[in-house]
Amino acid sequence: MDSKRNFDVIVIGAGIMGLCVAYYLIKNKLSVLVIDKDFINNSTSGACNGNIIVGNRNPDSLSRFLLQSLHEYLELNQILNEKFEFNQKGSLLIINEEFYLNEVKYLFEEQFKIGIKLEFMPKSYINKNIIINLGAGEFGGLFSAIDSSINPHLFCFSLKNYIERKKGIFSLYEEVVKITKSKKKGFKIETKKNIYFSDYLVNCAGYFAPTISKMLNESIPIIKNKGCILVTEALDEILPLIFLDWKDISYDKSASLIKKINNKNKKYNFIAEQTKSGNILLGKSEEIVEEISDISVDTIKGIANLAVSYLPILNCIKIIRSYQGIRPVTPDNLPIIGESSENEGFYYATGHGGFGISMAPITGKIISNIITKGGDTFDISLFAPKRFLRQE
């Protein structure tokens, strides 16, 4: 049998999740093949704003994972040869009503428990020291110094180059059409061009993940949450921080998601950051869709109007383009991470929704540790695939 077609692990999906999984597997001395029907970072992780929001997040079961993932980014920024514009600039969570102060206090206390320090800034301080003026109704903001951003494209290509230097293999523009599992151990993966074999298989296919799972008679409920980002002309620095709005984290995410699925309505939340090149990225929209469609004029107007209401300084700035991506979301808004309960050796790393960029390194490390060491220090039972596979 051709040794070039045999691998310890095959990873399906060459977005940020698949590349992080492959990176940590390679570091653990396994032979790895990454397969994708398109090119590197061609889908969701290539169509986002690249923010790593850890402190200014709704405190929940993901908090410790997000914090550890940020630590992994700090290490990767030192290890990878090519820099990927990692910038720990901090974020400001804008509070637009005094009504939310009890929730602010809760966020402050919960994040402090895991070692994250937040700082409340009144509107007068923000206007004097950070930005010319907030919108008329804004009350103040919560500052998180650890929140960061990356250039997702540069990061993914830095990972790709590292993986290839360590003898990892990429098969791009190859669509997987059939997967067969041996009765004993291992997988046979057929594409339209080749046949490959591996001991382990990791599904990192994002919103295509259900298609891959179906080939092994498994069903996972990935929901397509479409989001749009606007890009402004390049400017001198006017936004020293990442800005986002309190409403993005102040509601019950699970209940809100179910409501969106039922009503198929569109939702806007404000987020803005200025890139190294000077362009400002503005978002975001959320819309549950069945099929991918073009960006509507209403969506562009909705994002732009909301941005100006929060930061009036943006009013005279030109929008030069827009782009969209599809977030792979699960019904309980938690990712699917770990080994399948139905097929031994088949692993999932998908369904992260808007946490994909933030959680990719820690997810990759966890999957690698489970495969190579039999487990990880993090308890991932909440994310186990069996919570959906049993339902099916």
Secondary structure class of 245 (helix, strand, coil): strand
More confident of the two residues 374 and 99: 374
pLDDT band at 250 (very low <50, low <70, confident <90, very high): low
Q: State the pLDDT at residue 251.
A: 46
pLDDT band at 98 (very low <50, low <70, confident <90, very high): confident
pLDDT band at 86 (very low <50, low <70, confident <90, very high): very high
Q: State the pLDDT at residue 255.
A: 47
d(CA 195, CA 193): 7
What's the topology of domain 91-145+223-327? D-Amino Acid Oxidase; Chain A, domain 2 (3.30.9)
Query: Could you give the percent of the chain with pLDDT greater than 90?
Result: 78
Q: Which residues share a beta bridge with 188? A: 180, 197
User: Is residue 252 pLDDT above 70, yes or no?
Assistant: no
pLDDT band at 125 (very low <50, low <70, confident <90, very high): very high
pLDDT band at 54 (very low <50, low <70, confident <90, very high): very high
- pLDDT tens-digit profile of 279-336? 999 999 999 988 888 889 999 999 999 999 999 999 999 999 999 999 999 999 999 9
- pLDDT tens-digit profile of 253-285? 444 444 544 445 678 889 999 999 999 999 999
| DSSP H/E element including 282 | strand 280-289
d(CA 158, CA 161): 5
d(CA 166, CA 40): 17
| DSSP H/E element including 148 | strand 148-149
Among 272, 287, 278, smallest CA distance to 230 is for 272
Helix axes 356-373, 63-79, angle to 10 degrees: 80
Q: Which residues lie below 8 Å from residue 60, measured CB to CB, with a gap of 6+?
A: none
d(CA 116, CA 81): 29
User: Is residue 172 pLDDT above 60, yes or no?
Assistant: yes
pLDDT band at 81 (very low <50, low <70, confident <90, very high): confident
d(CA 316, CA 214): 49
Q: Report the pLDDT averaged over residues 175-199.
A: 93
Secondary structure class of 384 (helix, strand, coil): coil
Helical residues (DSSP H) of 137-247, grouped into ranges: 152-165, 209-214
Question: Has domain 3-47+153-222+332-389 been given CATH number 3.50.50.60?
Answer: yes
Q: State the pLDDT at residue 263.
A: 47
**pTM of the shown model:** 0.94
Mean pLDDT of the chain: 91
Burial of 187-221, coded b for 16+ CB within 10 Å and e otherwise, reads bebebeeeebbbbbbbbbbbbbbbebbebbebebe
Provide the residue ranges of all domains of the chain, joining segments of one domain with +.
Answer: 3-47+153-222+332-389, 91-145+223-327
- pLDDT tens-digit profile of 195-247? 999 999 999 999 999 999 999 999 999 999 999 999 999 999 999 999 999 87
Q: State the pLDDT at residue 293.
A: 82
More confident of the two residues 320 and 391: 320
My answer on whether omega of the bond before 117 falls inside 30° of 0, hence cis, is: no
Q: State the pLDDT at residue 390.
A: 59
DSSP-assigned letters across all residues of 19-76: HHHHHHHHHTT--EEEEESS-TT-SGGGSS--EE--TTS--STTHHHHHHHHHHHHHH
